[in-house]
Copies of this chain bind each other. A is one copy, B any other.
């Protein structure tokens, strides 16, 4: 095995270097295009994104053709990768992105004569890219490819980079809109936002290119409200592509694995109904608060204060409850004797890293708020609410992360610690060369110790579980559903445009508008992503417990 013993990490390294360079180039152009003073136009950004999407689409088609022709290319499938809720969410967000592309095409077609062709081409190419990529991820998310390793690594990384670039462009676009709307008029936000859009989008054309017709206005408003779905689509696709990238060239010992596809019947069985009912109540109240807030803030300025008090009060109640519930979930685990699952699992490692990393965004905003409130004056009711909100935000992210991460590391239900072997060093390792297989075969196979098949597990649950452990499982299911619904409403509010950070004057006065806008616009996208990712993780926790 002399020349074949090529260093496999080399291919990974190459693909990471490619991705880093492409991403930085895209980052440079996108951030340059966001500033009016810089001579980089948004058409440059559109052209780059379109070219990247075309290349990625070509690679995906090549990959699909190859794996269809040669089924031996995918000898293993990772049971943990691409669970059904992630793929379902991807399809849902993909459909919303397609609708957004229709609206965008319609909007830009309304003043075709004074736009460059790339602006109409871009949404069309994006639609093709979204359709092909969604199909690709639906079909191949679990693949562990074993042919053309280097090409597959590079292709996956390039597609991942394309999605991240689309995400960055969307986030920057939204931030520019938000700051335009703030600077042009503080009181009449939603109307000013539309006007500034028109000006921002038409740097070349004159007044003849204004979006004046009613159809055009509808297109424009529609595509603005569909942005959050496009953002989430890109991030979902990125996480799935990253797991695929980690799985390239991986050897798995037990091919089937334990797949927990929940049947629709069991989805609302086995809970006390307290969690879902309380969660739904908070969800509905939250939606009402969000609508009241948006209406009052976009009206005249006199009612902004009242809107903020309502908004903060709701958030404090919601955050306080989720903190307590997460904490009680962690306490339940202290009495739970289920074995920990120590197997290698790239999906879970990524989930944990993303939960911890994305929480940094909201942490940072909260710490800046705390410093501003504590050091600034005066100390009125709103400042107190703001401080409580920021402190609870930190506590909630911390305790929720601890609960979710511990949940993800629990073994399947019914697997009591004495019944399973805690660690099998010969299982589920990523072998970096083929020789290692010989070493593997030298270890005793021990088929009885390999993770039991799904049917065995269900039997084990039926036999082993005592009334008390049954009660704990129901509690955990309630907790995860409650947290899930709360995270959905906490996602909706910032994702669809609630920005108390700017309506509130404490931080703006303390840091100055430009500094505070930079902080919020960089950190908030991560905070929004955290909510969405927590929802998908909590769904997994619900199914696993």
A: residues with CB less than 8 A from B are: 1-2, 5, 7, 9-10, 13-14, 16-17, 20-21, 24-25, 27-29, 32, 35, 37-40, 337, 339-340, 342, 356, 359-360, 363-364, 367-368, 370-371, 375-376, 394, 398, 401-402, 405-406, 409, 417-418, 421-426, 429, 431-433, 435-436, 439-440, 443, 510-512, 515
Contact = CB atoms under 8 A, between A and B. Distances in A.
Contacts of A394: 21
A439 B425 CA distance: 8
Contacts of A510: 38-39
Contact of A375 (B13, B40, B439): B40
A340 B27 contact: no
Contacts of A339: 5
Given A13-B405, A38-B510, A27 B364 contact: yes
Nearest to A371: B28
A371 B24 contact: no
Given A394-B21, A405-B13, A35 B422 contact: no
Contact of A426 (B24, B422, B425): B425
Contacts of A432: 340, 342, 423
Contacts of A511: 32, 35, 37-38
A534 B435 CA distance: 32
17 contacts: A5-B417, A7-B406, A10-B402, A21-B394, A21-B398, A24-B360, A32-B368, A35-B512, A35-B515, A37-B512, A38-B510, A40-B371, A340-B432, A342-B432, A425-B425, A425-B426, A425-B443
B9 A409 contact: yes
A223 to B, nearest CB: 28
A526 to B, nearest CB: 13
A431 B436 contact: no
B7 A409 contact: yes
Given A356-B16, A409-B9, A21 B363 contact: yes
A339 B433 CA distance: 11
B371 A32 contact: yes
A30 to B, nearest CB: 11
B371 A406 contact: no
Contacts of A20: 356, 359-360, 363
A360 B418 CA distance: 48
Nearest to A367: B28
Contacts of A14: 402
A532 to B, nearest CB: 20
A28 B523 CA distance: 13
Contacts of A13: 401-402, 405
B405 A422 contact: no
B439 A421 contact: yes
Contacts of A37: 511-512
A443 B1 CA distance: 25
Given A13-B405, A35-B512, A425-B439, 14 more contacts: A2-B337, A2-B418, A9-B409, A20-B356, A20-B359, A21-B394, A24-B364, A39-B375, A421-B439, A422-B435, A423-B432, A423-B433, A425-B429, A426-B426
A14 B370 CA distance: 22
A40 B371 CA distance: 9
